[in-house]
Each structure stands twice: as structure tokens, then as C-alpha cells.
Amino acid sequence: MKIEYQLEKVEKNTKARLGKIKTNHGCYDTPMFMPVGTKANVKSLTPEQVKDCNAAIVLANTYHLWLRPGEDVINHAGGLHKFMNYDGPILTDSGGFQVFSLAKNKKKDITEEGVHFKSHIDGKSLFLTPEKSIQIQNKLDSDIAMSFDECPPASASYDYLKNSVERTLRWAARGKQAHTNKNQSLFGIVQGGAYEDLRKYSAIETVKMDFDGYSIGGVANDGESKEDMYKAIDYSIPYLPNDKVRYLMGVGDPIDIIEGVIRGIDIFDCVLPTRIARHGQAFTRKGKINLNNSKYLEDFTTIDESCDCYTCKHYTKSYIRHLITTKESLGGTLLSIHNIRFLIKLTEELRIAIKEDNILEYKDEFIKKYCNK
Amino acid sequence: MKIEYQLEKVEKNTKARLGKIKTNHGCYDTPMFMPVGTKANVKSLTPEQVKDCNAAIVLANTYHLWLRPGEDVINHAGGLHKFMNYDGPILTDSGGFQVFSLAKNKKKDITEEGVHFKSHIDGKSLFLTPEKSIQIQNKLDSDIAMSFDECPPASASYDYLKNSVERTLRWAARGKQAHTNKNQSLFGIVQGGAYEDLRKYSAIETVKMDFDGYSIGGVANDGESKEDMYKAIDYSIPYLPNDKVRYLMGVGDPIDIIEGVIRGIDIFDCVLPTRIARHGQAFTRKGKINLNNSKYLEDFTTIDESCDCYTCKHYTKSYIRHLITTKESLGGTLLSIHNIRFLIKLTEELRIAIKEDNILEYKDEFIKKYCNK
């Protein structure tokens, strides 16, 4: 079946939405943060560790899996769920973002047909089209596939963006046409930078195609400001239907998640919690901390006293600092668990705030602590 | 309390022993394989994952923990168990082996007082003595501490080894004198290369000092042959008391474990299962396999059909190969779990074989499959 979104409540003072997503792999509450499992695993974590963070949907990357091990291998394995041993829902991106961010030397040739570029692994010439992206995702058999879109940088001109939005719409239509997996949902992506008319146009035209959900893209590509991100959301949301889920792509900063939820976003994904973990950084209610700091050498308290994650239940900053500074990968694993749980717990608290109609107070309170104001 | 060893049975046709070790952190069956947690963690695994392999004693490295984070940090944390969140027994080595194997440029200056050498991390001058090694281990508060010994290479001459054995005996006496942790057991180490008279002398003199257990060292230093290892065991065992545990240091090859058990060894440790895991290798009943091999690209069977580990319950060779070849650390984690469980399961089967008095048949059967004979 396709996913179903059920809107349960809109918060009194904002556009924040409480809802449920029904998938082939369980029913889950929104707003929700989705951990990223780039190459069919959330870096260094077992699926049990991911689920223990109360994660629901996990994101996997079509571009990476297309290159290695190849979509046919995963298809022959019985699909992504069986391959990676994850029985929760999986969303695959379209590969579009990686083509634009990872292509060797960032060189690519965008034609109406698709994008020619070179592999970031071995420099091999590759060609990705809307049809190919969907065919790969059909074979991966994720719960949710994304349309193939162009992800222009924040520096792109209005004229460039206008053309790009038009092409992305044509690509979305071609992808929808090519989509054959009856058990897989397909989302459309709204682009248009920080321009009100482009976002409106992109949203209206994408919604006309009737996708199973809608995503707002182009907010975390390359150099977008927070202001532009909030504009992109505000300009797109009014034209998205209430009965479909709304996904803000690539966003995982805690404050951005709060701002996104307030503006009407339901789901988020980002590599941030696992990436900063590998560098020794942890989210806390009082802002990010870096466990490499020597002040934690004999700090026998947990990362965040209000946290209920596995890491905070069992380990001190002193121990995690030791693992991080001696390059033991368990350090990154423990911090990844904490950081993922931190963002998921944040969305759980936002759901309560929506229920209680006090999300603006929650935001103020959170930011006051998080930014040490 | 000190550990207690209870001999339950000697196998009918060999010297293989079934026994129990009672520690401050539980009572466990021997023969036993101990996973190595060099820097206060079994590389990339949580303590729960280690325990899930049915592990009991875990080994940690005094040399590494002395350098980072320092024994005082761990002492202030409440000892190694609390620091690393492991509630099973912990054995610490003396640092002797690392001094001889890891010292910068392998240069060291051995005096009667101790060993001068340079840190493998930053080249800093260090001085380790029998007393210092024991003081560090006392502070780490492991269940079992090891005496500080010299680990000469296999190429050492008889005369060198004779002097070395004498010095190691004097060091053992000094360490025993310095040992003050009433809750920590202290083991003596038998040295003497592959020379019958030296092993006999070393064993008899070490036993005279009345340690809580005895270890056979110098069998996995640098270039020892299997034949020399078996000689070292055979020449030492007759002089070790029946009511104390016997530990063969640094040995983790499956066939060596079987041969060691047959010769009367109770416990083993080795980095082998986790080290080869990080390079993509797995133990199987039919010998070691390398998951980098392209023949596993679409191999949707588990590593070893007879294995009951977490990895073999949930993952295919195809998936693990994908993780290993794309350098995802979860691949090494999954293989570490499998390899540790493989060796622990081997010791479980050896215990049954001892009970059933058929360990020689078990050995023949195992080797026939493992070596594809």
C-alpha cells in the first residue's frame, strides 16, 4: 500500500501539525526526525540501536546504493529492508542531491534528459535520469521514493532557478510515469530557492501531479542562509494539501527542526547527528559540546542529564572523551546514539507542545537554554 | 576476594580440564576465550554486544590505559568496570608485552630496575618497572592483574633467555611485594622459550611465590612457531598446581585453542577475532573467509550456518561484504561479533567434549573441516 497521512491537530498559535503516517512497516507519529543510513546502515549502528532511539523512518541514499552494491544486488536480496535488516519504514532519496554535491570535481552536465557526471569513487562516467532514479528506487523497494530533482546552489540566479524549477517539474512528471512499484509511495519536491513566486509555482504545479507526499528541497544544498530556509518553507507550505505529509530535506539542526515544525513541516532528515558524533560532538540542552575538550578528562557526569538514551544511561563524558581521543570507533557510536535520540526526543516534545498548544513557549524555553541566552 | 579456581574434571585421554572460575564479577566455566578490550573497550562493540557473545572475562591493556587516559582518571571514575560499563570480570595485562612490541622503533633499555622506552604515541620517554605496573593495575582495579615480565623474541639465545627468566622471577617477586589491592588477584607468568629446563625452572620458581593463577607467556611474541608454542606449554604444565587457573597469553587461533586445551590450558586471549574482522575476515567451520571477495556479492547466506551469533541470525555475506567494501564500520562490528562468538562457542564445545571424554575426536573432526582435509 501507499503511505497514508492523517492530520490530527494543528497547534493553536502556529502552523505546527500533529499527525500519523501509516506505512507498510508500521504507523508512526509526526513531527518526526529520520536518521540517515547512507549506504544501507546508519553509520556504525545496528538497526536495534537505531530503533532503541525510538527512530521510525530511516533514510537511505539511492546514489550510493546504485554505485555499490548496485540496485540489482539489493533487489535480489529481497529489497532494502531484508538487505539491511531494518523492519521499520525506509525512505530513499532520488540521488539528485548527491549528483550535485558529490560528483567528481563537482562537474556535471545537466541536459533535459538527465545529468551526466563522474563517480566520486572511481571517476567513471555516469548518467542519471528521472526514470533511472525511479527504476533504482523501485528495485530498492523502499517505502517512500523521492522524485529526481535539480538541487541548484544558493548562489543561483533567479533566471537559472526559474528554468531549473520548470525542468524539475518535467522530471517529476517523467519519474511519476516511470514509477511502477505499487507498494512504494512517491513524493514530489518543491524547489524555487528563496523566491516567493517560484516556490508558489513549484508547489502548485507539483501538487497538481498528485504525489503521495511533498518535500521542500533546496534548503540545505550549499550556502543557504537560515532566513532563506524559513522563506522557502513559508512560501511553499500554503500550497501543499493538508492530507499529505510534508518533508523538509536535509535539515537536522535542533532550532531549524523547531522552526520547521512551527511552519508546518512533518518530517526531517539529516546526517548532522552522526557526522558531528564521529568528530566528538554532542547535542545537549545547553548547546553542542565537543568531547575532545580536555575539561572532560575527569568529568564523570553524563552528556546531558535530561537525556534517556543508552549512552547517557551508561557512560560518562570522561569515558566517551577517552574513546574519541584514542580514536576508538565506539566513541562515535555512543555519540551517534545520543545525538539521534536527542533529535528524536526533541520531536517527541514538540508533539506534546502541539497537543498542549504551547509550541512557541517551548521554542523560547529551548532556545534560551540551547543558546545560553 | 581473590579469584578461585575449581577443577571439575580432567578429560580421560588428555590433560584437558573442565573447571570454574569464581570472581568478584560472577562465576564462569573454563576453558574460556577472553576478548581483548585494549583501550577499555572491545573495539567497536558495546559491553552488551560482548556479553551477547557469552563472553565472561575481558582483557584490558595496562600500557594503553596508563598512557591514555591515565590510571588516575580510571581510578577516580571508580575503577575499570565502572569506567567502561562492564560488569563481568576484567583481566589487565602487565604492559610488558606492549613495551616490547609497541615501544617506538622497538628500542628499549632493559635494566634490573625496569624498562626505559619511548611512547608509541608521542615518543615521550617512559620507564616501567614491576612495581609501577602493579601500582597502575591496582588503581585500574581489574579482577586479575598480571606480573610484569620480559617478553623476549623467539630468536633470543638460550643464554639470553636464561638471564631473562631469572630477571622475570625477580620482577615477579617485586611486583607481588608491591601488590596492595585486596580485591584483585595476581598471576605469575612462566617464561623460558622452547627450552624444557628453562620452562621447568621458571614454572617451579614462579609457583613457589604462590600466585592466584599462572600464565604461560612468550608463545605469541614475535615469530614463535606452533611447535615451540606446544613445547612451551608441555614443558610448563607439569609444574603448575591443579587448583590454580592456567592462562595461555595471546593465543586465539582456533586450532591453537584446541591444542592448548588438550595440553591443560584453561583461559586464552587474543586480538585476532577483532583484528581480522576489521579487515573483512571471518572464522567459519570450513576455515577463514575474506568478505572482500567478489564471490560474496550476491551470496545471501550467512557467514556460517552453524553459528548462533547476532550477525549470523540477521545478516548475509552479501550485506557484510557491502559494508566492508564501502568502509562502513558496522561491517567490522558485525564480523567482530561473529568472530568472538566463534571462539567462545569453540570453548563451549570443548567443555562438552571434556565432559564426554572425546576431545581428541572433536579435534580431528574440527581440523578436518577447518583445514578442508
Q: Are residues B260 and B280 in the same domain?
A: no
Segments forming the whole domain that contains residue B277: 272-373
Least Cα distance to B48 among B89, B87, B92, B91 occurs for B87
Residues of B in contact with A310 (CB under 8 A): 46
Per-residue pLDDT at A101 exceeds 90: no
Looking at residue B100, its pLDDT comes to 82
Per-residue pLDDT at A106 exceeds 80: no
Q: Could you tell me the end-to-end alpha-carbon distance of chain A, in angstroms, rounded to an integer?
A: 47
- Identify which of A68, A298, A334 has the shortest CB distance to residue B73: A298
For residue B224, is it left (φ>0), alpha (ψ between -120 and 50) or beta? beta
Q: Are residues B305 and B170 in the same domain?
A: no
Band (pLDDT 50/70/90 cuts) for residue A373 is low
The packing angle between helices B359-370 and B254-262, to 10°, is: 160
Q: Distance (Å, rounded) from C-alpha B174 to C-alpha B260?
A: 29
Provide the 3-class DSSP secondary structure of residue B63.
helix
Q: Are residues A285 and A248 in the same domain?
A: no
C-alpha cell at A267: 518530517
CA distance A84 to chain B (A): 7
Least Cα distance to B283 among B294, B270, B292, B274 occurs for B274
Work out the percent of chain B whose per-residue pLDDT is above 90: 93
How much is the mean pLDDT over chain B?
Answer: 96
Q: Are residues A227 and A283 in the same domain?
A: no
Residues 280-299, chain A: which have Cβ within 8 Å of B?
Answer: 297-298
Q: Phi and psi dihedrals of A359, rounded to 5?
A: -70, -30
Tally Cβ neighbours within 10 Å of residue B285.
15
Q: Distance (Å, rounded) from C-alpha A246 to C-alpha A248?
A: 7
Please state which of the ranges A220-224, A242-246, A296-300 shows the lowest mean pLDDT: A220-224
Per-residue pLDDT at B296 exceeds 80: yes
CA distance B315 to chain A (A): 7
Please state which of the ranges A261-270, A351-360, B13-22, B219-228 shows the lowest mean pLDDT: B219-228
Looking at residue B224, its pLDDT comes to 83
Q: Distance (Å, rounded) from C-alpha A300 to C-alpha A288?
A: 18
Q: Which residue of B has its CA nearest to A77?
A: B300
Tell me: the pLDDT tens digits for B158-190? 999 999 999 999 999 999 999 999 999 999 999
| Number of residues written out for chain B | 373
C-alpha cell at A106: 563537482
For chain A, the domain total comes to 2
Looking at residue A20, its pLDDT comes to 98
Residues of A in contact with B316 (CB under 8 A): 77, 83
Asked if residue B15 lies in contact with residue B242, where contact means CB atoms within 8 angstroms, the answer is no
Looking at residue A211, its pLDDT comes to 98
Interchain CB distance below 8 Å, B84 and A319: yes
Q: State the average pLDDT over residues B312-331.
A: 98
Asked if residue B266 lies in contact with residue B16, where contact means CB atoms within 8 angstroms, the answer is no
DSSP A54: T
Q: Of A251, A270, A289, which closes a domain?
A: A270
Interchain CB distance below 8 Å, B73 and A323: no
| A93 catalytic residue (yes or no) | yes
Looking at residue A74, its pLDDT comes to 98
Looking at residue B223, its pLDDT comes to 78
Band (pLDDT 50/70/90 cuts) for residue A107 is confident
Interchain CB distance below 8 Å, B318 and A73: yes
Band (pLDDT 50/70/90 cuts) for residue A290 is very high
Q: Distance (Å, rounded) from C-alpha B103 to C-alpha B127?
A: 11
The H or E element that residue B177 is part of is helix B158-178
Q: Are residues B283 and B224 in the same domain?
A: no
Per-residue pLDDT at B106 exceeds 80: no
Q: Of B230, B255, B270, which closes a domain?
A: B270
Residue type, B205: E
Per-residue pLDDT at A25 exceeds 70: yes
Residue type, B14: T
Q: Are residues B179 and B97 in the same domain?
A: yes
Q: Are residues B122 and B48 in the same domain?
A: yes
Q: Are residues B299 and B247 in the same domain?
A: no
C-alpha cell at B50: 560482548
DSSP A295: G
Interchain CB distance below 8 Å, A333 and B46: yes
Q: State the average pLDDT over residues A45-71.
A: 98
Per-residue pLDDT at B103 exceeds 80: no
CA distance A300 to chain B (A): 7
Count H helices, E strands: chain A?
A: 15, 16
Q: Which residue of A has its CA nearest to B77?
A: A300
Interchain CB distance below 8 Å, B322 and A68: yes
Q: State the average pLDDT over residues A145-163.
A: 94
Q: What is the CA radius of gyration of chain B?
A: 20
Asked if residue A172 lies in contact with residue A188, where contact means CB atoms within 8 angstroms, the answer is yes
Interchain CB distance below 8 Å, B85 and A333: no
Q: State the average pLDDT over residues B211-221.
A: 94
Q: Distance (Å, rounded) from C-alpha B128 to C-alpha A270?
A: 48
Q: Which residue of A has its CA nearest to B85?
A: A314
Band (pLDDT 50/70/90 cuts) for residue B373 is low
Per-residue pLDDT at A235 exceeds 70: yes
Residues of B in contact with A68 (CB under 8 A): 322, 325-326
Mutate to test the interface with B, among A46, A67, A291 (most CBs of B within 10 A): A46
Tell me: the pLDDT tens digits for B241-277? 999 999 999 999 999 999 999 999 999 999 999 999 9
Residue in A149, A256, A266, A269 annotated catalytic:
A269
The CATH number for B71's domain is 3.20.20.105
Q: State the average pLDDT over residues B3-18.
A: 98
Measured between alpha carbons, how far is residue A338 from residues A50, A292, A311, A313, B123 in Å? 10, 16, 6, 10, 35
Q: Are residues A265 and A283 in the same domain?
A: no
Q: Distance (Å, rounded) from C-alpha A228 to C-alpha A154?
A: 9
Asked if residue A248 lies in contact with residue A17, where contact means CB atoms within 8 angstroms, the answer is no
Which positions ≥6 away from A284 have C-beta within 8 Å? A303, A304, A307, A342
Band (pLDDT 50/70/90 cuts) for residue B309 is very high
ipTM strictly over 0.95?
A: yes
Strand partners, A185: A144
Looking at residue B108, its pLDDT comes to 87
Measured between alpha carbons, how far is residue A169 from residues A60, A96, A134, A172, A192 in Å? 23, 14, 15, 5, 11
- Identify which of B77, B83, B325 has the shortest CB distance to residue A68: B325
Residues of A in contact with B60 (CB under 8 A): none
Residues of A in contact with B328 (CB under 8 A): 39, 41, 43-44
Band (pLDDT 50/70/90 cuts) for residue A150 is very high
Q: Are residues B208 and B142 in the same domain?
A: yes
Q: Of B243, B270, B297, which closes a domain?
A: B270
Interchain CB distance below 8 Å, A322 and B297: no
Tell me: the pLDDT tens digits for B68-96? 999 999 999 999 999 999 999 999 999 98
Per-residue pLDDT at A322 exceeds 70: yes
Residues of A in contact with B73 (CB under 8 A): 297-298, 318, 322
Q: Are residues B178 and B76 in the same domain?
A: yes
| A269 catalytic residue (yes or no) | yes
Q: Are residues B109 and B228 in the same domain?
A: yes
